[in-house]
Amino acid sequence: NAGVTQTPKFRILKIGQSMTLQCTQDMNHNYMYWYRQDPGMGLKLIYYSVGAGITDKGEVPNGYNVSRSTTEDFPLRLELAAPSQTSVYFCATEGSDTQYFGPGTRLTVL
Amino acid sequence: AQSVSQHNHHVILSEAASLELGCNYSYGGTVNLFWYVQYPGQHLQLLLKYFSGDPLVKGIKGFEAEFIKSKFSFNLRKPSVQWSDTAEYFCAVTINTNAGKSTFGDGTTLTVKP
């Protein structure tokens, strides 16, 4: 039981490049979340999903897109990377009213 | 929208000292409350949570937190810290009817000196 896995662990992008952050869970949880964590700050919700085929914006969705074609996968897409998107990204699921976090992806945009 | 305030950004303690980290939230309705810990280089892990019932909740590793509804507070405590408690601690609040979306505080970095 791997829980929540994220790939890649680290990535450096140039301004304007695109990439997809992968998130997979094996806990059969319906709710999934994407957060970003900036230095000295708490987590900010980017997007969330309450089940396959259903997604909605969180607090800071601009510059990102998501999809949820299966229960297991919840990828986060950056279309035109900007320096302001330099951050650590955490994926999480929710079960029994508790969130379970992945190990994070550290993204730098230069 | 609800907000969560953690008043101490950085706390430095010696081993065996007592710990209290403050957390206040700004929502008048029913909430679920959480404390998470993030050890250096690791992801967030749940320390403890409060949904209802006894306002004093006990979590892992000797941590406890007390929900005081009248003060909108959920402070984290530990009677005697260890060097291994060095980490960042996050308080989070979820409104029951808000699809489980959590609002996190900015975190408190705890450094325990051996």
Q: Which pLDDT belongs to residue B100?
A: 62
Beta-bridge partners for A55: none
Which one of A89, A90, A101 makes the best mutation probe of the B interface by having the most chain B beta carbons within 10 Å? Answer: A101
Round to whole Å and give the CA distance between A49 and A32: 5
Q: Which pLDDT belongs to residue B55?
A: 94
Higher pLDDT pick, B6 / B98: B6
Round to whole Å and give the CA distance between B112 and B39: 12
Q: Which pLDDT belongs to residue B1?
A: 66
Q: Which residue of B has its CA nearest to A94?
A: B100
Q: Which pLDDT belongs to residue B98?
A: 57
Q: Which pLDDT belongs to residue A1?
A: 65
Average pLDDT, chain A: 93
Q: Which pLDDT belongs to residue B30?
A: 84
Q: Would you say residue A2 has pLDDT above 80?
A: no
Domain containing residue A9: CATH number: 2.60.40.10
Yes or no: say if B63 and B76 are a contact pair by the CB < 8 Å rule.
yes
Residues of B whose CB is below 8 A from A103: 42-43
Q: Would you say residue B99 has pLDDT above 70?
A: no
Under an 8 A CB cutoff, do A31 and B100 touch? yes
Name the residue facing A50 among B46, B51, B99 (closest C-beta): B99
For residue A15, the tally of other CB atoms under 10 A from its CB is 11
Quote the domain boundaries for residue A77. 4-109
Number of folded domains that form chain A: 1
Q: Which residue of A has its CA nearest to B31?
A: A97
- Residue tagged 């101490």 (tokens): B8
Beta strands in A38-103 (DSSP E): 43-51, 54-57, 64-66, 76-78, 87-95, 98-101
Q: Which pLDDT belongs to residue A25?
A: 97
Q: Does the CA dihedral B50-B55-B57-B63 come out positive or negative?
A: positive
Q: CA distances (Å), A95 to each of A50, A70, A92, A98, in order? A: 11, 17, 10, 5
Structure tokens at A87: 């951050």
Yes or no: say if B102 and A45 are a contact pair by the CB < 8 Å rule.
yes
* DSSP-derived 3-state class of residue A84: helix
Name the residue facing B90 among A42, A58, A100 (closest C-beta): A42
Under an 8 A CB cutoff, do A102 and B9 touch? no
Under an 8 A CB cutoff, do B99 and A98 touch? no
Q: CA distances (Å), B17 to each of A20, B29, B55, B83, in order? A: 45, 35, 24, 11
Round to whole Å and give the CA distance between B89 and B76: 9
Q: Which residue of A has its CA nearest to B89?
A: A42
- Model confidence at B91, pLDDT cuts 50, 70, 90, reads very high
Average pLDDT, chain B: 91
Domains and CATH numbers, chain B: 4-113 (2.60.40.10)
Nearest to A35 by CA among B104, B27, B39: B104
Residues of A whose CB is below 8 A from B8: none
Q: Would you say residue A15 has pLDDT above 90?
A: yes
Round to whole Å and give the CA distance between B98 and A6: 25
Round to whole Å and give the CA distance between A47 and A65: 8
Average pLDDT for residues B15-41, to the nearest whole number?
A: 92
Question: Residues of A near B (CB-CB distance < 8 A)?
Answer: 31, 33, 35, 40-45, 48, 50, 56, 58, 90, 92, 94, 97-104
Average pLDDT for residues A34-43, to the nearest whole number?
A: 88
Residue-wise pLDDT tens digits, A58-99: 989 999 999 999 999 999 999 999 999 999 999 999 887 788
Residues of A whose CB is below 8 A from B97: none
Higher pLDDT pick, B96 / B43: B43
Nearest to B24 by CA among B12, B38, B47, B7: B7
